[in-house]
Chain A
Amino acid sequence: MAVLVFTESWDGKFKKSSFELVSYAKAMADSIGSKTIAISIASVSQDELNKLGIYGADKIISLSDEAFKTLDNQVYTKLIAELADRENANILVLAHNNTGKALAPRLSVRLKAGLVSAAVELPSSYDPFRVYKKVFSGKGFVHQVVKTQKKILTLSSNSFELIESNTTPEIEEYSPEMSAVEIKTTVVDIQKQTGKLILTDADIVVSGGRGMKSPDNWGVIEELAELLGAATACSRPVSDEGWRPHSEHTGQTGKIIAPNLYIAAGISGAIQHLAGVSSSKCIVAINTDKDAPIFEDADYGIIGDAAKVLPELINAVKEMKA
């Protein structure tokens, strides 16, 4: 028996979400008395691989062959399923990010394993296997029961604390039997978001809505974000208008995030927007309209003009840092 974790790295470094995943998997493995095994498909140094041990990986299976660099959902599914069978894994966890969303459903079919998407906590019971999760984009909760022997979960980022257990992992360099010629997906171009924090990974997010009036007014959002080490986000009309890139759009039809702090400036708090941000631990709303629905979901509110309030907050953060 094993809990298998699919980890991801970026330029040779593991993402924070991967450490969260390993911590989460380790907690499950402890409850059912099994091992925690991590898979890494990328070229990652031995030192970096060992970091997965800090969070409890007993074993790491590393596939560093550059031929498998391109994410081909079908090929990755075969690779992971093969390892899941070989390791006799009964639980498989992936991050609830772009890659996890692409692979988990395919694996569910291939392994005939029931899937729970976007889990935010540990299963409430293992037999029957029950996980508490959001439905209706946060307007409800449900207990999802998985009836198959094998189970797959995707874990929402920022929803599980990092827990150090300092294991010394065994590392296996894996060369798969299947050949990379099966890869059907060809990447012809890639635009990496450079220097900026990835929105779904960020602990703090500063977000602007239509109340910011014009894309020219985003300087204060960016400056505050920079000072706080935060990522920037926006409401849907803002990205629809092309004021900001689609990748920043949060909400039901955009990104779903759960930072520790979400600062919403000039956002009315439409139900579809809240669907993407309501899991934030603390929400701050800045809005000229005292009746804006965002205040119902916010922890702290300021009724005022964002163009005036944000510069004051910038000054206050500078003072705090000084």
Chain B
Amino acid sequence: MKIFVCLANVPDTTTKIKFTDQKFDETGVQWVINPWDELALTRAMELKEDTESPVKEVTVVTVGTLGSEPTIRKALAIGADNAVRIDAEPEDSYSVAWLLSEYLKNYEGDHLVLTGIESSDYNGFAVGGMLSEFLNVPSVSGVSALDIEGDHAKVSREIDGGLEQVVIKTPFVAIVQKGIAKEPRIPAMRGIMMARKKPLEVVSPGSFDNITEMLDFELPKAKPQCKMIDPENAKDLIGLLQNEAKVL
């Protein structure tokens, strides 16, 4: 079985966000694998290394221009066997999901697709679900544990107010979140060397349409100063919350 991990290339989560002409200013930005996708890749690697699991190959797929290749190489250094870059500027979740599906729909072997639940840049919470609908396969979202036995997967998914264990046949799209792997893997020196030689296929996409657009970016409004309460009179806080902030 092969696992496809969909990767987004996003600004490092500590990036100080700047907007120039109401557009995201990319100068000086460090790019990383979207945190949830990094966890998905880590879990995919664990499954591949587990001799009892049927997973034999891990492929990462990214929609991005040439600038996303360092991030893809990092995924190869973490351990993915090969990578695919769909050569397009990611426009909105819908077009990204469509581009991924155009590539993935041709794969006929036994497989599973992993995506992260959201991307840390535009917070769309959408690509995984959209992809599954384009591919017309089932999806499980909010996945925090994944195991594979034969042709089916055992999955834990978060529901509002609990956790469900779900069994589902492959292929399907697992949309993963925190918990799927403990810590994201960091590439080792050997992995970095090997990554240079691993195959990175570049695919030219067909034409596509975005159906939403992001306009007029702005920074959040500054917050008023924090009101300090003397630790000796910590009790005063409760009165303030009650009478001033009116939240109790």
By a beta-carbon cutoff of 8 Å, the part of chain A in contact with chain B is 8, 10, 15, 71-74, 77, 96-99, 101-110, 112-118, 130, 134-148, 154, 184-193, 198, 200-201, 204, 228, 239-240, 246-247, 249, 252-254, 260-261, 271-272, 275, 278, 281-282, 284-285, 295-305, 308-309, 312-313, 315-317, 319-320
Q: Is the CB of A144 within 8 A of B139?
A: no
| Residues in A neighbouring B133, C-beta threshold 8 A | 74, 77, 105-110
Residues of B within 8 A of A117 (CB): 118, 123-126
Quick one: which of A10, A72, A106, A319 has the most chain B CB within 10 A?
Answer: A106
How far does the alpha carbon of A318 sit from the alpha carbon of B47 in the complex, in Å?
51
- Roughly how many angstroms separate A189 CA and B168 CA in the complex, as a whole number? 13
Known: A77-B133, A301-B228, A302-B228. A296 touches B142 (CB 8 A): no
- Neighbour of B123 across the interface among A137, A191, A201, A305, CB < 8 A: A137
Q: List 25 A-B contacts (CB under 8 A).
A: A15-B160, A73-B132, A73-B139, A105-B126, A106-B133, A108-B130, A112-B211, A115-B93, A115-B124, A134-B123, A135-B121, A135-B123, A136-B11, A136-B123, A137-B13, A140-B217, A185-B138, A186-B166, A190-B162, A190-B165, A281-B245, A285-B226, A300-B228, A303-B228, A309-B231
Interface string of B115-143 (1 = CB under 8 A from A): 00110111111111110111001111110
Contact A143 to B219, CB < 8 A, known contacts A102-B141, A187-B164: no
Asked whether B213 lies within 8 Å of A147 as measured between CB atoms, the reply is: yes
Residue B241 interfacial (CB < 8 Å):
yes
- B-chain residues with CB within 8 Å of residue A239 when the two chains form the complex: 178
A98-B211 contact in complex given A138-B220, A141-B220, C-beta closer than 8 Å: no
Q: Identify the stretch in B52-60, B64-72, B232-240 within 8 Å (CB) of chain A at 4 or more residues.
A: B232-240
Question: From residue B232, how far is it (CB to closest CB) to chain A in Å?
Answer: 9
Which of A96, A140, A228 makes the CB contact (< 8 A) with B218? A140
**CB proximity of A265 to chain B, nearest CB, Å:** 11
Interface band, chain B:
35 or more
Given contacts A112-B211, A300-B240, contact A118 B125 (CB under 8 A): yes
Please give the distance in Å from A270's CB to the nearest CB on chain B.
8
Q: Please indicate the chain B residues that have their CB under 8 angstroms from the CB of A187 in the complex.
A: 164-166
- Contact residues in B for A110 (Cβ distance below 8 Å): 133
Bound together, the chains give a CA A260 to CA B159 distance in angstroms of: 23
A108 in contact with B218 given A147-B211, A299-B226 (CB within 8 Å): no
Name the A residues within 8 Å of B183 (CB-CB).
240
A186 close to B167 (CB less than 8 A): yes
**B120 A316 Cβ-Cβ under 8 A:** no
Assess whether B247 is in contact with A261, with CB atoms less than 8 Å apart: yes
